[in-house]
């Protein structure tokens, strides 16, 4: 599945991260069945862009993110960051790379140590990577609080004294501490109320503009992913089924799963929206332990044909700039737009 | 105008805590018509769940104090004897909870849950209850209901568990179904299945529904009438078209504008509501939303009453040309303030 052509991207277009055929299987019993959490994913992230990864629970979004930054080791495949293969680097050799790749976690209640002060949490990366003495670290910490919109006077408070949105700001400040090039954000706003979610999404946008950051932004909320992303990868059962420019995916999905996913989003009817036809998927997502043969989506796909049951479709360019893993992509809607 | 099925008047729920008295629900009034769906929307801490739990007197905290009236079919749920209420709960009014895993006992199969509910309210043999449970599971779209009736909750997926809970809630053909975030824990395609199921069952069983959610999209697609809550109070109440197409309260505007949409134009920045949701310890004497409201003025130091015409009510001191005010606020760049 290597050699996938990349659709156009925002930013200066330099490839920052390239993943090739990433596989992560978790064995259940040695030599027996495995959970195929990530099953052959190839993607690129360009400098200055946001790649959104969307999919339902259990589709392998988080496992993929952890593989991409080597928080866990890959079963097979490679990940290159700025042209260097980090797949089999030792922990020591990885350290300088880690400065440039930071992670923002989903649960702002679980990702901050409750027994440490907010300022110390944010300063941790600075200490680990040996950035100056106490006073310099303190100055930088206060600066980071300022950047993410928290009062400097909060540095000595403990996590429980902050609201959910403020905690996520602390997590973002910690990720920013070392001036990274890439931030991987795993469901950073899903635990927040909608008004607070909007504030944090605006912060992500401002920081990108200010520092030229690249993001891999994982979320299950399709509105959120559309809002932040330049390009979008849609995952289903450990595979990318569609990958293209965000607006194009939302305007005309070419994979039947994307089509169903978008049609399922409850929409606010304020008199301006146009309703799409709802495609209700039947049944549940199959288990990643016993993936269906052929196309993983075929048991729930309303367009499935004989070929889909036996032959696994690969992610290929089905229309200019539109990648999909489907034998019968939905191209009729595209010609109308062109 | 048909007689309301449920009429809540001046509901007030307070909790005594070590840090003083907390007012979770503050003088809330609303009604639900027979066969109607009322959507209750608001952010965490708005008092949505406390409201419905207090109606069924499911708040066991001895420090809680509940006042007001809740007339259901002419009888006050808040003052009737516990033994009478037991006959109402599960039979006339039933509930679906957010997390189907914790709403079911892990040590009994799902069929047991449904049969228990049936046998608590009407004399019925075990075999008959089991047959009825299988029929209910079939009705809610459970595959292989004859087999699944003996499945334990952990053997089912989240969506299937929620279907089992719905089957349980519908077992006695309730006149009112209260659903507290029934689809929040589910994936979007499963959520669509569950919401569709609830609406289909509303049509076949004729139950009224009170649907609580924080998701404006879910409300917009399911509710007939909408109640927007903030800080334990109703800030806007009206028909779905009123609230979504002609919203009057600045908090409703904020909620609608904070949601990133999947269709239409894309904005670079969302119109976030500045500040954080109200702490229940710091409820102001004036308007509850004033601290975060871009339209705050002197009048807001006084608490506005919920008032309006033709069933479209709101609690705000702004003059009546709200659409104009909202349009003006949108064209001038909103100030950005973090929490």
Segment A144-198, tens digit of pLDDT: 999 999 998 899 999 999 988 899 999 999 999 999 999 999 999 988 888 889 9
Give Cα separations from B174 to A41, B159, B206, B299 (angstroms): 49, 22, 9, 44
Distances (CA, A) of B101 to B95, B110, B137, B185, B335: 14, 11, 17, 10, 43
- Is 0.95 exceeded by the ipTM? no
A227: nearest CB among B191, B270, B277 = B270
Q: State the pLDDT at residue B219.
A: 94
Distance CA B96, CA B179 (A): 5
Beta-bridged to residue A243, according to DSSP, are: A233, A323
- Per-residue pLDDT band for A6 (boundaries 50, 70, 90) equals very low
Contact A195 B196 (CB under 8 A): no
Confidence of residue A45 (pLDDT cuts 50, 70, 90): very high
Pick among B294, B326, B339 to test the A interface (most A CBs inside 10 A):
B339
* pLDDT at site B333: 54
Q: How many residues does chain B have?
A: 339
Strand segments (E) across A28-108: 34-46, 50-54, 76-81, 84-85, 101-104
Distance CA A219, CA A51 (A): 11
Nearest CA in chain B to A204: B269
**Parallel, antiparallel, or unpaired for β A101-104 and A84-85?**
unpaired
Main-chain phi, psi angles of B96, to 5 degrees: -120, 130
Return the minimum-mean-pLDDT range out of A49-58, A269-278, B62-71: A269-278
Q: What is the pLDDT of residue B1?
A: 55
Is pLDDT at A201 greater than 50 in this prediction?
yes
User: How far apart are the CA of A199 and the nearest CA of chain B, in angstroms?
Assistant: 5
Which residues 172-201 of A are in CB contact (within 8 Å) with B?
193-199, 201
The reported pLDDT for the residue numbered B2 is 66
Confidence of residue A94 (pLDDT cuts 50, 70, 90): very high
Q: Cα separation of A194 and B284, whole Å?
A: 22
Q: Which tokens in the block code for residue B73? A: 């079919």
Measured between beta carbons, the chain A residues lying within 8 angstroms of B143 are: 283
DSSP three-state, residue A314: coil
**What average pLDDT does this structure show over A130-143?**
88
**A23 at interface of B, judged by CB pairs closer than 8 A:** no
A:270-299 residues touching chain B, CB 8 A cutoff: 270-274, 276, 278, 280-285
* B-interface mutation test, from A199, A201, A208, A300, most B Cβ less than 10 A away: A199
Provide, as residue numbers in chain B, all residues whose Cβ is less than 8 Å from the Cβ of A193: 43-44, 214, 277
* Residues of B whose CB is below 8 A from A205: 268-269
User: Residue A32 pLDDT more than 80?
Assistant: no
Q: Which of A20, A47, A38 is nearest to A215 (CA)?
A: A47
Q: Give, in degrees to the nearest 5, the angle at Cα B25 between B19 and B26.
A: 95
Structure confidence at residue B112 (pLDDT) = 95
Q: What is the pLDDT along chain B (339 residues), one digit of tens a residue?
A: 567 999 999 999 999 999 888 999 999 999 999 999 999 999 888 999 999 999 999 998 999 999 999 999 889 999 999 999 999 999 999 999 888 888 899 999 999 999 999 999 989 999 999 999 999 999 888 888 999 999 999 998 888 899 999 999 989 999 999 999 988 878 888 888 888 888 888 888 889 999 999 999 999 999 999 999 999 999 999 999 999 999 999 999 999 999 998 888 777 788 888 888 888 788 888 999 999 999 999 999 999 999 998 899 999 999 999 999 998 888 775 444 433
Average pLDDT rounded to a whole number, residues A87-110 = 90
What pLDDT score does B335 carry? 44
Calpha distance B288→B235 (Å, rounded): 9
Q: Which helix (H) or strand (E) holds B146?
A: helix B145-148
Q: Give dist(CA B210, CA B176) in Å, integer.
A: 8
Q: Is A57 on the interface with B (CB under 8 A)?
A: yes
Buried b (16+ CB within 10 A) or exposed e, B273-300: bbbbbbebeebeebbbbbbbbebbeeeb
A224 touches chain B (CB under 8 A): yes
- CA angle (A104, A106, A108) in 5-degree steps: 85
Q: Does A135 touch chain B (CB under 8 A)?
A: no
pLDDT of the residue at A335: 57
Q: What is the pLDDT of residue A9?
A: 41
Say if residue A10's pLDDT is above 70: no
Q: Which residue has the tokens 């009112």?
A: B176
Q: Give A7 to chain B, closest Cα distance, Å.
A: 20
Q: How many CB pairs under 8 A join A and B?
A: 151
pLDDT of residue A336: 53
**DSSP-H helix ranges across chain A:** 61-68, 91-98, 118-128, 134-147, 164-176, 194-211, 222-228, 246-251, 256-264, 306-310, 332-337
Q: How far is A91 from chain B (nearest CA, A)?
A: 36
Q: Which residues of B touch A274 (CB under 8 A)?
A: 263
Q: Which residues pair with B75 in a beta bridge?
A: B72
Choose, out of A188, A265, A275, A297, the residue to mutate when testing the contact with B (most B CBs < 10 Å): A265
3-state secondary structure of B236: strand
Q: Does A255 touch chain B (CB under 8 A)?
A: no
Backbone torsions φ then ψ of B121, nearest 5 degrees: -110, -20
Cβ pair B269:A265 closer than 8 A: no
Instruction: Give the separation between CA A145 and CA A154, rounded to whole angstroms.
Output: 8
Residues on chain B touching A276 (C-beta within 8 angstroms): 263
φ, ψ of residue A18 to 5 degrees: the values are -130, 120
- Tell me what pLDDT residue A181 has: 95
Interchain contact, A261 vs B188, CB within 8 Å: yes
The shortest CB-CB distance from A268 to any of B220, B274, B339 is to B220
Mean pLDDT of A51-72: 92
Q: Which tops the pLDDT comparison, A307 or A278?
A: A307
**Nearest CA to B293 among B316, B268, B312, B310?**
B316
Cβ of A222 within 8 Å of Cβ of B254? The answer is: no
Q: Could you identify the residue written with the tokens 């090739």?
A: A20
CB-based contact B215 A266, cutoff 8 Å: yes
Could you tell me the pLDDT band of residue A305, with boundaries at 50, 70 and 90?
very high
DSSP-derived secondary structure letter, B162: H
- Is A157 at the interface with chain B, CB within 8 A? no
- What pLDDT does A338 receive? 46
- The Cα–Cα gap between B214 and B224 comes to 16
Of A199, A220, A262, the CB nearest to B187: A220
Q: Does the pLDDT of residue A308 top 90, yes or no?
A: yes
Nearest CA in chain A to B194: A280
> Which residues of chain B make contact with A268, given a CB cutoff of 8 A?
216-217, 220, 244, 256, 259, 261
For residue A284, is pLDDT > 80? Answer: no
* Tokens (6 digits) for A299: 């048991």
Task: Output the average pLDDT for chain A.
Answer: 89
List the single best residue of B42, B148, B191, B192 to mutate versus A (max A Cβ within 10 A). Answer: B192
What are the chain A neighbours of B195 within 8 Å (beta carbons)? 266
pLDDT at A134: 86
Contacts of A262 in chain B (CB under 8 A): 262
């Amino acid at each position: 599945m290597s050699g996938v052509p990349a659709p156009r991207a925002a930013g200066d277009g330099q490839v920052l991260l390239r993943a090739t055929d990433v596989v992560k299987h978790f064995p259940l019993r040695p030599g027996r069945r495995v959970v195929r959490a990530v099953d052959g994913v190839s993607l690129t992230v360009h400098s200055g862009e946001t790649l959104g990864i969307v999919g339902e629970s259990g589709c392998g979004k988080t496992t993929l993110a952890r593989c991409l930054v080597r928080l866990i080791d890959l079963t097979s495949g490679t990940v290159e960051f700025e042209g260097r293969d980090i797949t089999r680097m030792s922990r020591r050799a990885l350290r300088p790379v880690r400065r440039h790749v930071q992670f923002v976690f989903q649960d702002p209640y679980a990702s901050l140590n409750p027994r440490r002060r907010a300022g110390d949490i944010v300063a941790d990366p600075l200490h680990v990577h040996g950035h100056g003495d106490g006073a310099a670290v303190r100055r930088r910490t206060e600066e980071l609080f300022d950047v993410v919109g928290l009062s400097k006077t909060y540095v000595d408070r403990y996590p429980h004294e902050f609201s959910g949105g403020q905690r996520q700001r602390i997590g973002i400040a910690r990720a920013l501490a070392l001036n990274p090039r890439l931030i991987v954000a795993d469901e950073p706003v899903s635990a927040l109320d909608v008004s607070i979610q909007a504030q944090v999404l605006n912060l992500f946008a401002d920081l990108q503009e200010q520092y030229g950051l690249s993001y891999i932004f994982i979320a299950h909320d399709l509105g959120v992913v559309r809002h932040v992303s330049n390009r979008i990868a849609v995952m289903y059962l450990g595979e990318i089924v569609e990958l293209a420019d965000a607006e194009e995916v939302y305007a005309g999905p070419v994979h039947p799963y994307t089509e169903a996913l978008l049609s399922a989003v409850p929409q606010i009817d304020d008199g301006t929206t146009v309703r799409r036809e709802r495609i209700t998927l039947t049944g549940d997502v199959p288990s990643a332990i016993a993936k269906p043969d052929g196309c993983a989506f075929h048991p729930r796909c309303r367009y499935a044909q004989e070929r889909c049951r036996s032959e696994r479709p690969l992610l290929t360019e089905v229309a200019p700039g539109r990648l999909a893993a489907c034998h019968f992509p939905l191209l009729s809607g595209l010609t109308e737009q062109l | 105008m048909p007689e309301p099925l449920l009429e809540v008047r001046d509901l007030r729920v307070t909790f005594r805590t070590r840090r003083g008295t907390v007012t979770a629900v503050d003088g809330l009034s609303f009604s639900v018509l027979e066969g109607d769906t009322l959507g209750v929307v608001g952010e965490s801490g708005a008092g949505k769940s406390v409201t419905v739990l207090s109606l069924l007197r499911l708040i066991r905290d001895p420090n809680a104090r509940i006042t007001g009236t809740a007339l259901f079919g002419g009888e006050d749920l808040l003052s009737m004897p516990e033994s009478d209420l037991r006959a109402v709960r599960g039979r006339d009014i039933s509930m679906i909870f957010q997390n189907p895993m914790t709403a079911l006992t892990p040590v009994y199969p799902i069929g047991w849950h449904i049969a228990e509910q049936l046998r608590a309210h009407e004399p019925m043999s075990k075999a008959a209850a089991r047959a009825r449970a299988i029929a209910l599971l079939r009705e809610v779209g459970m595959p292989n209901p004859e087999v699944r009736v003996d499945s334990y909750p952990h053997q089912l997926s989240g969506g299937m568990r929620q279907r089992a809970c719905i089957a349980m809630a519908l077992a006695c053909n309730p006149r009112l179904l209260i659903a507290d975030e029934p689809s929040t824990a589910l994936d979007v395609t499963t959520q669509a299945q569950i919401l569709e199921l609830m609406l289909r069952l509303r049509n076949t069983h004729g139950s009224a529904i009170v649907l609580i959610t924080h998701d404006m999209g879910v409300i917009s697609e399911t509710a007939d009438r909408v109640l927007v809550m903030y800080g334990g109070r109703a800030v806007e109440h009206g028909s779905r078209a009123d609230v979504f197409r002609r919203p009057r309260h600045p908090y409703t505007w904020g909620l609608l504008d904070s949601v990133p949409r999947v269709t239409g134009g894309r904005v670079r920045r969302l119109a976030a509501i500045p500040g954080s949701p109200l702490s229940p310890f710091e409820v102001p004497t004036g308007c509850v939303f004033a601290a975060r409201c871009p339209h705050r003025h002197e009048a807001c130091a006084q608490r506005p009453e919920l008032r309006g015409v033709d069933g479209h009510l709101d609690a705000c001191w702004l003059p009546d040309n709200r659409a104009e005010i909202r349009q003006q606020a949108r064209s001038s760049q909103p100030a950005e303030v973090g929490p």
